[in-house]
Homo-oligomer: A and B are copies of this chain.
Amino acid sequence: MSVAHITSPVSGPCGDDDCGIRDVLDRIGDKWTVLVIVELAKGVRRFGELHRAIPGISQRMLTLTTRQLCRDGLAERTAYPTIPPQVEYRLTPMGRSLAEAIERLAGWSREHKDAIADAREHWDAAH
């Protein structure tokens, strides 16, 4: 019982009103999770397919990322005991709803990408 909650400096029980925000970011704010979700949003994918579809990710990180998605109930893993083994990942309904929310954020990014780039240039020029 009482698993060690060693690390929870900020993501505590939302001290004020940011309930949920830190939660999401602790879940998708890492380097690879969103990319995996986005790829899985396109359909069922095998381990190797994900690996190839997401350039730069290591086997290790892909394993860790998919595992956490499964743990959080955002994805499901199906292993076929064939030889060689074959494993499929797919989003759960909850995972798909998260994928939609992420897509909206991506939309924001696309809309404001240029404005941000401009702001940066402007700022960098003055500093």
Contacts and interface: CB of A to CB of B under 8 A. Distances in A.
Contacts of A5: none
B21 A71 contact: no
Interface residues of A, number: 55
Nearest to A17: B38
B108 A97 contact: yes
Interface string A45-65: 000000001111100000000
This chain's copy number in the assembly: 2
A56 B22 contact: no
A117 to B, nearest CB: 9
Contacts of A122: 73
Interface in A65-84: 70-74
Interface of A: 3, 9-10, 15-25, 27-32, 34-35, 38, 53-57, 70-74, 94, 97-98, 101-102, 104-110, 112-113, 115-116, 118-120, 122-124
19 contacts: A3-B124, A9-B56, A10-B31, A10-B32, A10-B57, A15-B55, A18-B106, A19-B109, A20-B109, A24-B106, A24-B109, A28-B29, A29-B30, A73-B120, A73-B122, A74-B116, A94-B112, A98-B112, A102-B105
